[in-house]
């Protein structure tokens, strides 16, 4: 299983294995990572699973779809280059080592 590191705003790191085929959001929820609210359950309808992707990983992820771009407008302190909704990032074996940082708040 791919290993993903979630870094809280306070610097606390959580490196966990996440099942291939799930989302980065589901990996956080399933491993009790604080800081990802996921109020809509992964429907890309709330922006409460907002993360900042580590710069070395940005180009390795699939492009944002229009719906994700629109929802990021509602995220707390979005970064035009690094912000993603973790519900929209599917976990694949190629994402082994992915690093995401969590914002100070989710809205």
Q: Which structural domains are found in the chain, ordered by start?
A: 3-101 (3.10.20.30)
Residue 107, pLDDT > 80, answer no
Per-residue pLDDT of 1-32, as tens digits, reads 999 999 999 999 999 999 999 999 999 999 99
The CA-atom distances, in angstroms, between 92 and each of 3, 23, 34, 36, 71 are 10, 9, 22, 20, 23
Alpha helices per DSSP H over 22-105 = 24-30, 66-72
Instruction: Give the predicted TM-score (pTM) of the model.
Output: 0.95
């Amino acid at each position: 299983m791919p290993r993903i590191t979630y870094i809280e705003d306070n610097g606390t790191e959580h490196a966990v294995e996440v099942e291939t085929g799930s989302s980065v959001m589901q990996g956080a929820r399933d491993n009790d990572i604080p800081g990802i609210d996921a109020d809509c359950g992964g429907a890309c309808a709330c922006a409460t699973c907002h993360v900042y992707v580590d710069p070395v990983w940005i180009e390795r992820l699939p492009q944002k779809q229009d719906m994700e771009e629109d929802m990021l407008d509602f995220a707390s302190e979005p970064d035009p280059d690094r912000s993603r909704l973790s519900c929209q990032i599917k976990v694949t074996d190629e994402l082994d080592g992915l690093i995401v940082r969590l914002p100070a708040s989710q809205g």
